[in-house]
Amino acid sequence: MAFLLFCFIFFPVVAQPQPTSFIFNGFNTSESKLTLDGASTISRPSGALKLTNKSSYTIGHAFYSEPIQILMDNSSSSSSFSTTFVLVIVPSSSGRGGHGLAFTLSPSKQFPGAAAKHYMGIFSPENDGSPSNYIFAVEFDTVNGYNNAVDSDGNHVGININGMYSNVSRPAYYFIDNTDRTEDMVLESGDPIQAWIEYDGKFVNVTICPLNVSKPSKPLISYAVDLTPFVQETMYVGFSASTGEKSSSHFILGWSFSTNGTAPPLDVSELPMAPSKEKVGSSPDRRVIGLIAALSTVTVLLLGILFYFTLYKRNIWFENLEDWELDCPHRFRYKDLYTATKGFNQSEIIGVGGFATVYKGVLPTTGTEVAVKKITQTQTQTQSSIKGVREFVAEIESLGRLRHKNLVYLQGWCKQKNDLLLIYDYIPNGSLHSLLFHHKQSFVLSWEQRFNIIKGIAAGLVYLHEEWELVVVHRDVKSSNVLIDADMNVRLGDFGLARLYDHGTDWHTTNVVGTIGYIAPELARNGKASTSSDVFAYGVLLLEIVSGRKPVDSRSFFLVDWVIECHQMGRVLDAIDPKLDSGYVVEEVKLVLLLGLLCCHPKPGIRPSMRKIVRYLNGDEHLPSIDNWESFDSRDGIYSMFLGTISSRSITKSYPTSSSIGGILDPRFRLISTH
């Protein structure tokens, strides 16, 4: 009787596809459930799954041994899966690591011919992109270069279907508590990172965050896709990792997976410890260790003596901190910055302008790349009261809390004698200015890229003007402050800091700050920066991006006047950058040019708000027609008119011509020196 009942209850269940669910809190006892190949092993005693060691050009795979029913039968609503895992990437000690690891759904556990490097050990140059692969992968990649010849810092997460071209990819970051604020992450930091990949039949969502942060409610990637055509009915699920010339150890500390609702949560307390950065890798011969240790001791002693005589004497280790400086969370130690920039070495300079020099550096504490802006005050400025500096620092402390994916994050500051140092995220591709004007002849920003850049800057400015707790006026919107990251995303830099350039004179009066060519007429007259003077500068920037011409080229060319002229002759499209050839969308170009002109309207009241601008750019609202063009005085040109005012007034005062380093790169100095 009991047997019959048993059959009756269980028979129909067996006929249905079985959902799968498993969890590995560490891999101590899971070797039998996984198929490992290549460099993959389970590290003992920790129990972490190690996909690759630090050897170059290695591949490691680890797949769940059993095939998994991914497409459910036709009657069930839709197929879905959910997985979460904790990954750790430890770069090889010699320089930056590579390449990355990928969570993979594949019809087979074998990948014959699969290549290392960018191919992640799942694709080969022969089958890359082929629809017969039926491979779905989420890559955690630390090196760029699949699409461009040169490897560069990657640090991104992407979704790949059947090939190494990512259908969607994002730099690594996560959203902070359901806001638009983001926190960047370094995949190869060596710290554990938890990732979630969820597919509900409509979206693939990918979320990452550090292990000690709870799961962000907004995913990093939410990609609308129906995977049905791209997968087979049963698939193997697991991980693949590879290294190239650059290499890292790739670890998975824990993993759960389910085709039956949400993947079971990992028990963080049971996970293996994160492999420490030193312990990982080959363990050399004891004699070699001994020799190295002895040599190191001698070297350290010698260096110590050397340092004592050079640095200590020059008073570098001692930062004379004042009380108020002690409780500023964003204060960096000068020592660290000094090490990071190899002692502010000439070779590390990545930019010079105004009173500041920008160095690239690698922080010794975390190994992250930063840009360090060193602002040297002149003798007269040093006389400014300590109160001014303190106020300024308070301002930076609050700017340090600004987080948006289109802003360069100001990590902190440091004061050392006459120098003020600001520490920013390092953005690899350089500035929009250099991409537009100084870049290799062969490289032309496409219209699509330009339009994305235009939208990205707008998103950053909306955040500054309207979305943050305080209104932040940027004050120096210009192409050289628009940085472009490796994925061609926009990061707006230097916000709110332009007033820094005129400190020393008087902290309370705002002299005109900004850059000639971007300064709104009313700002030149009354010196009051406002959100609408930012909008003006943004307008000039729009014209600059479309036309590929600088706002002011010489004393007689003024971009805004020129575009107005083109518009009045009914030939506004004449203003398009000839380098674009015919590769643009006429409606979008027209929209941007007219919007640029509207933003440059001499009457601040007529300029739209940044939020309105975003609506225009997205096509949510139509651009109003500007009827009173008469107020743009075409005979003299609005620029030619107020430029005289500026150069005879405060600019010369706030930007001394003595600053010769600024004169080379910064257009405003060129104007002044001809004055």
Ligand X SMILES: *[C@@H]1O[C@H](CO)[C@@H](O)[C@H](O)[C@H]1NC(C)=O
Catalogue the active-site residues: 476
Q: Write out the two tokens for 32.
A: 């039998």
Peptide bond connecting 608 to the previous residue in cis, omega within 30 degrees of 0 = no
User: What minimum distance in Å lies between the beta carbon of 486 and ligand X?
Assistant: 19
Burial 479-511 (b: 16+ CB within 10 A, else e): bbbbbbbbbebbbbbbbbbbbbbbbbeebeebb
CA atoms within 13 A on the CB side of 528: 6
Q: Which stretch binds ligand X (CB under 6 A): 14-22, 468-476, 507-515, 653-661?
A: 14-22
Taking the complex as a whole, the smallest distance from the CB of residue 62 to ligand X amounts, in Å, to: 13
Interface with ligand X includes 165 (CB under 6 A)?
yes
Distance in angstroms (rounded) separating the CA atoms of residues 66 and 238: 11
Minimum distance from residue 158 beta carbon to ligand X (Å): 11
Smallest separation (angstroms) from ligand X to the CB of 203: 4
How many chain residues bind ligand X (CB under 6 A)? 34
**Helices and strands, number each (H, E), in the chain:** 17, 27
Nearer to ligand X, 1 or 224 (CB): 224
Q: Which is nearer to ligand X, 116 or 541 (CB)?
A: 116
CA distance 101 to 145: 15
282 counts as binding ligand X under rule CB under 6 A: yes
Say whether 279 counts as a known binding-site residue: no
Q: Please report, as residue ranges, which positions from 99 to 138 form the binding site for ligand X (by CB under 6 A).
A: 129
Q: At 442, is the secondary structure helix, strand, or coil?
A: coil
- Identify the residue among 35, 69, 169, 205 touching ligand X (CB under 6 A): 205
When binding is defined by CB under 6 A, the residue of 130, 260, 554, 634 that contacts ligand X is 260
Nearest to 592 by CA among 604, 600, 583: 600
CB of 55 to ligand X, least distance (A): 4
Least separation in angstroms between CB 11 and ligand X? 15
136-144 and 356-362 strand pairing: unpaired
Question: Between 47 and 551, whose beta carbon lies closer to ligand X?
Answer: 47
Residue closer to ligand X by CB (options 273, 294) is 273
Among 200, 322, 581, 621, which residue sits at the site for ligand X (rule: CB under 6 A)?
Answer: 200
- Give min distance, CB of 138 to ligand X, in A: 13
Asked if 168 touches ligand X (CB under 6 A), the answer is no
- Contact between 203 and ligand X (CB under 6 A)? yes
- Kindly state the tokens that stand for 178: 């359901």
- Total Cβ atoms within 10 A of residue 243: 30
d(Cα 518, Cα 43) in Å, to the nearest integer? Answer: 58
Task: Please check whether residue 448 is in contact with residue 399, taking contact to mean a CB–CB distance below 8 angstroms.
Answer: no
Cβ proximity to ligand X, 192 vs 608, nearer residue: 192
DSSP 8-state code for residue 214: P
* Inter-residue contact 493 to 460 (CB < 8 Å): no
Q: Does residue 147 touch ligand X according to CB under 6 A?
A: no
CA–CA dist 457, 441 (Å, integer):
25
What is the spatial distance between Cα 255 and Cα 272, in angstroms, rounded to a whole number?
12
| Contacting range for ligand X; rule: CB under 6 A; set: 203-211, 306-314, 401-409, 442-450 | 203-211
Stretch 399-418 residues interacting with ligand X (CB under 6 A): none
Stretch that binds ligand X, among 93-101, 163-171, 374-382, 501-509 (CB under 6 A): 163-171
- 169 contributes a contact to ligand X by CB under 6 A: no
Other CB atoms within 10 A of residue 46 CB: 19
Question: Which of 246, 49, 276 has the alpha carbon at shortest distance from 155?
Answer: 246
**Where in 223-252 is the site for ligand X (CB under 6 A)?**
225
Contact 192, 88 (CB under 8 A): yes
262 binds ligand X (CB under 6 A): no
Determine the interface stretch with ligand X among 106-114, 159-167, 424-432, 638-646 (rule: CB under 6 A).
159-167
Instruction: Produce one character per residue of 255-294: b if its CB has 16 or more CB atoms within 10 Å, e if not.
Output: bbbbbeeebeebeeeebbebbebeebbeeeeeeeeeeeee
Residue 651: enclosing H or E segment and its boundaries? helix 650-654
Collapsing DSSP to helix, strand or coil, 68 comes out as strand
Instruction: Find the shortest distance in angstroms from Cβ 202 to ligand X.
Output: 7
For ligand X, which stretch binds (CB under 6 A), given 202-210, 400-408, 561-569, 595-603?
A: 202-210
Q: Out of 31, 177, 270, 322, name the contact with ligand X by CB under 6 A.
A: 270
H helix or E strand, kind and range, residue 175: strand 173-175
Binding residue for ligand X, selected from 66, 180, 191, 325, defined by CB under 6 A: 191
DSSP 8-state class, residue 480: G
Binding-residue pattern over the window 24 to 63 for ligand X, x denoting contact by CB under 6 A? --x-x----------x-----x-x-----x-x--x-----
State how far the Cα of 244 lies from the Cα of 145, in Å rounded to an integer. Answer: 11
Looking at beta carbons only, is 26 or 460 nearer to ligand X?
A: 26
| CB 581 to ligand X: min, Å | 24
Binding residues: 374
Binding residues for ATP: 374
In the complex, which residues of this chain contact ligand X (CB under 6 A)?
Answer: 18-19, 21, 26, 28, 39, 45, 47, 53, 55, 58, 73-74, 129, 161, 163, 165, 167, 191, 198, 200, 203, 205, 210, 212-213, 219, 222, 225, 260-261, 270, 272, 282
